Amino acid sequence: QPVLTQPPSVSRAPGQRVTISCTGSSSNIGAGYDVHWYQQLPGTAPKAVIYGNNNRPSGVPDRISGSKSGTSASLAITGLQAEDEADYYCQSYDSSLSGWVFGGGTKLTVL
């Protein structure tokens, strides 16, 4: 059972906005540890699209943003495009487990 909770799937039409939530606890997100978001296309390694809660790596469009509040974090994508269709994972650190923790992943479908 993943330590961080994400919705299993979301779907939106092209051009719309979508948010994906990631809920943790006081030993991970709520303890102040950073949240990273990964995009995973089929057959490829996860690629960071947000790191350190709200930072975009070079090359990631500014349509993608991240936020964090309390024990939760969110990934937002505006102006959805077909290329955004992928699995998205949140990741943080957990002090009780002394290691990385992940959400179960959210499959984003662009209708």
What does the binding site for another protein look like in residue numbers (CB under 8 A)? 2, 34, 36, 38, 45-48, 51-52, 55, 57, 89, 91, 97-105
In angstroms, give the least distance from the CB of 100 to another protein: 4
52, 59, 103, 109 from 28: Cα distances, Å: 13, 28, 12, 28
**Which of 15, 57 has the CB closer to another protein?**
57
**Which of 75, 79 has the CB closer to another protein?**
75
- Measured in residues, the chain has a length of 111
**Angle at CA 63, nearest 5°, toward 37 and 81?**
95
